[in-house]
Protein backbone atom coordinates (compact mmCIF):
# COMPACT_ATOMS: atom_id res chain seq x y z
CA UNK A 1 0.00 0.00 0.00
CA UNK A 2 1.38 3.40 -1.03
CA UNK A 3 0.95 6.65 0.91
CA UNK A 4 0.40 9.59 -1.44
CA UNK A 5 0.62 13.29 -0.64
CA UNK A 6 -1.04 15.87 -2.89
CA UNK A 7 -1.21 19.66 -3.05
CA UNK A 8 -4.64 20.90 -4.06
CA UNK A 9 -5.90 24.28 -5.27
CA UNK A 10 -9.59 25.07 -5.45
CA UNK A 11 -12.12 27.82 -5.96
CA UNK A 12 -14.44 27.23 -3.02
CA UNK A 13 -17.36 29.23 -4.41
CA UNK A 14 -19.52 26.25 -5.41
CA UNK A 15 -18.61 23.99 -2.48
CA UNK A 16 -19.87 23.51 1.05
CA UNK A 17 -16.31 23.54 2.33
CA UNK A 18 -13.63 20.88 2.42
CA UNK A 19 -15.20 18.21 4.61
CA UNK A 20 -17.49 15.49 3.25
CA UNK A 21 -21.14 16.18 4.08
CA UNK A 22 -24.05 13.94 3.04
CA UNK A 23 -25.87 15.27 0.00
CA UNK A 24 -23.59 18.30 -0.43
CA UNK A 25 -20.76 19.02 -2.86
CA UNK A 26 -17.42 19.31 -1.05
CA UNK A 27 -13.78 19.29 -2.11
CA UNK A 28 -12.91 16.21 -0.06
CA UNK A 29 -15.98 14.47 -1.47
CA UNK A 30 -14.85 15.08 -5.04
CA UNK A 31 -11.31 13.87 -4.37
CA UNK A 32 -12.59 10.67 -2.75
CA UNK A 33 -15.03 10.08 -5.60
CA UNK A 34 -12.30 10.42 -8.24
CA UNK A 35 -9.73 8.32 -6.37
CA UNK A 36 -12.28 5.59 -5.69
CA UNK A 37 -12.87 5.41 -9.45
CA UNK A 38 -9.13 5.17 -10.13
CA UNK A 39 -8.55 2.59 -7.38
CA UNK A 40 -11.80 0.64 -7.95
CA UNK A 41 -12.16 0.62 -4.16
CA UNK A 42 -13.04 3.17 -1.51
CA UNK A 43 -10.26 5.71 -0.89
CA UNK A 44 -10.35 8.00 2.16
CA UNK A 45 -8.67 11.38 1.79
CA UNK A 46 -7.36 13.32 4.81
CA UNK A 47 -6.67 17.06 4.54
CA UNK A 48 -4.48 19.39 6.56
CA UNK A 49 -7.66 20.96 7.92
CA UNK A 50 -11.16 22.02 7.03
CA UNK A 51 -11.92 25.11 5.00
CA UNK A 52 -15.46 26.50 5.25
CA UNK A 53 -18.02 26.94 2.51
CA UNK A 54 -16.84 29.54 0.00
CA UNK A 55 -13.21 29.58 1.20
CA UNK A 56 -10.49 29.08 -1.41
CA UNK A 57 -7.08 27.38 -1.39
CA UNK A 58 -3.94 27.44 -3.48
CA UNK A 59 -1.92 25.15 -1.20
CA UNK A 60 -4.16 22.69 0.63
CA UNK A 61 -2.33 19.45 1.45
CA UNK A 62 -4.03 16.05 1.58
CA UNK A 63 -3.00 12.41 1.74
CA UNK A 64 -4.44 8.97 1.06
CA UNK A 65 -3.40 5.34 0.67
CA UNK A 66 -3.49 3.60 -2.70
CA UNK A 67 -2.78 0.11 -4.06
CA UNK A 68 -2.73 1.25 -7.69
CA UNK A 69 0.89 1.39 -9.01
CA UNK A 70 0.18 4.36 -11.32
CA UNK A 71 3.17 6.80 -11.37
CA UNK A 72 2.64 10.08 -9.52
CA UNK A 73 2.64 12.27 -12.64
CA UNK A 74 0.09 10.03 -14.32
CA UNK A 75 -2.04 10.02 -11.17
CA UNK A 76 -2.05 13.82 -11.16
CA UNK A 77 -3.16 13.89 -14.79
CA UNK A 78 -5.84 11.26 -14.21
CA UNK A 79 -7.26 13.08 -11.20
CA UNK A 80 -7.38 16.43 -12.99
CA UNK A 81 -9.09 14.81 -15.96
CA UNK A 82 -11.87 13.54 -13.67
CA UNK A 83 -12.16 16.50 -11.29
CA UNK A 84 -14.27 19.61 -12.00
CA UNK A 85 -12.25 22.53 -13.34
CA UNK A 86 -12.47 24.49 -10.07
CA UNK A 87 -10.47 21.79 -8.24
CA UNK A 88 -6.92 21.09 -9.44
CA UNK A 89 -4.26 18.73 -8.09
CA UNK A 90 -1.06 20.73 -8.40
CA UNK A 91 1.42 18.15 -7.16
CA UNK A 92 1.52 14.42 -6.32
CA UNK A 93 4.34 12.72 -4.42
CA UNK A 94 5.09 9.52 -2.53
CA UNK A 95 5.00 10.00 1.26
CA UNK A 96 6.10 8.05 4.30
CA UNK A 97 3.54 5.41 5.38
CA UNK A 98 2.78 7.32 8.59
CA UNK A 99 2.34 10.74 6.96
CA UNK A 100 -0.79 12.60 8.11
CA UNK A 101 -1.34 16.11 6.70
CA UNK A 102 -3.18 17.44 9.75
CA UNK A 103 -1.30 15.92 12.67
CA UNK A 104 2.15 16.61 11.21
CA UNK A 105 1.56 20.16 9.96
CA UNK A 106 3.94 22.70 11.55
CA UNK A 107 2.40 25.92 10.24
CA UNK A 108 -0.27 27.26 7.90
CA UNK A 109 -0.55 30.57 6.06
CA UNK A 110 -3.82 32.27 5.15
CA UNK A 111 -4.61 35.49 3.32
CA UNK A 112 -7.72 37.61 3.56
CA UNK A 113 -8.32 40.24 0.87
CA UNK A 114 -10.46 43.36 1.13
CA UNK A 115 -11.26 45.29 -2.05
CA UNK A 116 -11.20 48.97 -1.13
CA UNK A 117 -12.18 50.57 -4.44
CA UNK A 118 -15.64 52.01 -4.97
CA UNK A 119 -16.35 49.44 -7.70
CA UNK A 120 -15.31 45.81 -7.39
CA UNK A 121 -14.37 44.31 -10.79
CA UNK A 122 -16.60 41.33 -11.63
CA UNK A 123 -13.57 39.05 -12.04
CA UNK A 124 -12.51 39.84 -8.46
CA UNK A 125 -15.86 39.55 -6.73
CA UNK A 126 -15.56 35.86 -5.76
CA UNK A 127 -12.10 36.23 -4.22
CA UNK A 128 -12.32 39.41 -2.14
CA UNK A 129 -14.64 41.07 0.32
CA UNK A 130 -15.75 44.38 -1.15
CA UNK A 131 -15.42 47.07 1.55
CA UNK A 132 -15.31 50.55 -0.04
CA UNK A 133 -16.21 52.34 3.22
CA UNK A 134 -13.84 54.59 5.21
CA UNK A 135 -11.18 52.78 7.26
CA UNK A 136 -8.11 53.96 9.14
CA UNK A 137 -5.79 51.57 7.33
CA UNK A 138 -2.69 52.85 9.13
CA UNK A 139 -4.20 51.93 12.48
CA UNK A 140 -5.12 48.48 11.16
CA UNK A 141 -1.57 47.93 9.91
CA UNK A 142 -0.17 48.92 13.31
CA UNK A 143 -2.48 46.54 15.17
CA UNK A 144 -2.06 43.45 12.96
CA UNK A 145 1.34 42.39 14.42
CA UNK A 146 -0.20 42.36 17.92
CA UNK A 147 -1.70 38.99 16.98
CA UNK A 148 1.78 37.50 16.97
CA UNK A 149 2.78 35.19 19.81
CA UNK A 150 0.82 32.68 21.85
CA UNK A 151 -2.68 33.75 22.81
CA UNK A 152 -6.03 32.31 23.85
CA UNK A 153 -8.14 32.75 20.70
CA UNK A 154 -11.45 31.64 22.26
CA UNK A 155 -13.01 35.01 21.36
CA UNK A 156 -11.97 34.47 17.72
CA UNK A 157 -13.53 31.02 17.32
CA UNK A 158 -17.01 30.12 16.09
CA UNK A 159 -18.91 27.33 17.84
CA UNK A 160 -17.66 23.91 16.76
CA UNK A 161 -18.86 20.37 17.37
CA UNK A 162 -15.42 19.65 18.87
CA UNK A 163 -15.99 22.18 21.67
CA UNK A 164 -17.48 19.42 23.83
CA UNK A 165 -14.03 17.82 23.98
CA UNK A 166 -12.71 20.83 25.87
CA UNK A 167 -9.60 21.24 23.72
CA UNK A 168 -7.40 24.26 24.28
CA UNK A 169 -7.96 27.29 22.05
CA UNK A 170 -4.50 28.65 22.63
CA UNK A 171 -2.68 29.09 19.32
CA UNK A 172 0.66 30.54 18.27
CA UNK A 173 0.67 33.16 15.53
CA UNK A 174 4.10 33.29 13.93
CA UNK A 175 3.52 36.37 11.79
CA UNK A 176 0.65 38.73 11.02
CA UNK A 177 0.87 41.58 8.54
CA UNK A 178 -1.54 43.89 6.75
CA UNK A 179 -0.60 45.88 3.65
CA UNK A 180 -2.09 47.64 0.63
CA UNK A 181 -1.59 46.60 -3.01
CA UNK A 182 -3.52 48.87 -5.35
CA UNK A 183 -7.17 48.62 -4.36
CA UNK A 184 -6.60 45.51 -2.23
CA UNK A 185 -5.94 45.46 1.49
CA UNK A 186 -4.26 42.12 2.27
CA UNK A 187 -4.03 40.46 5.68
CA UNK A 188 -1.57 37.55 5.77
CA UNK A 189 -1.27 35.42 8.89
CA UNK A 190 0.96 32.41 9.55
CA UNK A 191 0.40 30.25 12.59
CA UNK A 192 0.69 26.85 14.21
CA UNK A 193 -2.99 26.20 13.66
CA UNK A 194 -6.32 27.96 13.35
CA UNK A 195 -9.77 27.61 14.87
CA UNK A 196 -13.10 27.70 13.03
CA UNK A 197 -13.61 31.19 11.51
CA UNK A 198 -10.51 32.42 13.34
CA UNK A 199 -8.86 34.26 10.43
CA UNK A 200 -12.16 35.76 9.34
CA UNK A 201 -12.76 37.04 12.88
CA UNK A 202 -9.18 38.32 13.15
CA UNK A 203 -9.79 40.30 9.96
CA UNK A 204 -13.16 41.51 11.23
CA UNK A 205 -11.52 42.76 14.41
CA UNK A 206 -8.99 44.72 12.35
CA UNK A 207 -11.88 46.22 10.37
CA UNK A 208 -13.42 47.34 13.69
CA UNK A 209 -10.10 49.01 14.48
CA UNK A 210 -10.25 50.72 11.09
CA UNK A 211 -13.75 51.98 11.80
CA UNK A 212 -12.54 53.54 15.06
CA UNK A 213 -14.57 51.16 17.22
CA UNK A 214 -11.62 49.49 18.97
CA UNK A 215 -8.67 51.07 20.73
CA UNK A 216 -5.42 49.20 21.37
CA UNK A 217 -6.52 48.14 24.88
CA UNK A 218 -9.84 46.80 23.55
CA UNK A 219 -7.99 44.88 20.85
CA UNK A 220 -5.55 43.28 23.30
CA UNK A 221 -8.38 42.39 25.71
CA UNK A 222 -9.84 40.07 23.08
CA UNK A 223 -6.62 38.04 23.15
CA UNK A 224 -6.85 37.40 26.90
CA UNK A 225 -8.23 34.20 28.41
CA UNK A 226 -11.66 34.74 29.92
CA UNK A 227 -12.68 37.62 27.62
CA UNK A 228 -16.46 37.88 27.84
CA UNK A 229 -17.84 38.00 24.34
CA UNK A 230 -16.67 37.51 20.80
CA UNK A 231 -14.19 39.31 18.62
CA UNK A 232 -14.90 39.93 15.00
CA UNK A 233 -17.39 39.94 13.40
CA UNK A 234 -16.37 37.17 11.02
CA UNK A 235 -15.81 38.54 7.53
CA UNK A 236 -17.41 36.79 4.52
CA UNK A 237 -15.78 33.57 3.30
CA UNK A 238 -15.07 34.89 -0.20
CA UNK A 239 -12.02 36.89 0.82
CA UNK A 240 -10.20 34.01 2.52
CA UNK A 241 -7.63 31.70 0.92
CA UNK A 242 -5.39 28.98 2.36
CA UNK A 243 -1.97 29.78 0.92
CA UNK A 244 0.30 27.02 2.20
CA UNK A 245 0.91 24.29 4.76
CA UNK A 246 4.39 23.61 6.16
CA UNK A 247 5.84 20.32 7.43
Q: In a structure prediction context, what are the per-residue pLDDT tens digits for the chain, which is 247 residues long?
A: 999 999 999 999 999 999 999 999 999 999 999 999 999 999 999 999 999 999 999 999 999 999 999 999 999 999 999 999 999 999 999 999 999 999 999 999 999 999 999 999 999 999 999 999 999 999 999 999 999 999 999 999 987 766 667 688 899 999 999 999 999 999 999 999 999 999 999 999 999 999 999 999 999 999 998 898 899 899 999 999 999 999 9
- For the annotated catalytic residues, the residue numbers are 52
Is the separation of the CB atoms in 176 and 148 below 8 Å? yes
pLDDT, position 208 = 98
* Distance (Å, whole) CA 194 – CA 174: 12
**3 state DSSP class of 236:** coil
pLDDT at res. 163: 66
Please give the sequence-ordered ranges of beta strands (E in DSSP) within the chain, or none if there are none. 2-10, 46-47, 56-66, 87-95, 107-115, 129-130, 149-152, 170-181, 184-191, 240-246
Residue 199: other Cβ atoms inside 10 A? 26
Domain architecture of the chain: domains with CATH: 2-95 (3.30.70.580), 107-246 (3.30.70.660)
What pLDDT is attached to residue 167? 82
Residue 226 is predicted with a pLDDT of 84
Q: How would DSSP label each residue in 31-84?
A: HHHHHHHHHTS----EESS---TT-EEEEEEEEEEE-----HHHHHHHHHHHS-
177 vs 128: CA distance, rounded Å: 17
Residue-level pLDDT at 117: 97
Entry pTM = 0.95
Cβ atoms 198, 156 nearer than 8 A: yes
Amino acid sequence: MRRIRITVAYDGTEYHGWQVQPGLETVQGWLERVLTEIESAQVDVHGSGRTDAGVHAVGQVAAFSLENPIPCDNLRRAMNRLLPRDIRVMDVAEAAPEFHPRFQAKAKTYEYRLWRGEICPPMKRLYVCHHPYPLDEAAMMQMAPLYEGEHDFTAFAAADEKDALGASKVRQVLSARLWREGDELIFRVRGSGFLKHMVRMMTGTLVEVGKGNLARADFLARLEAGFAGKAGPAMPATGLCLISVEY
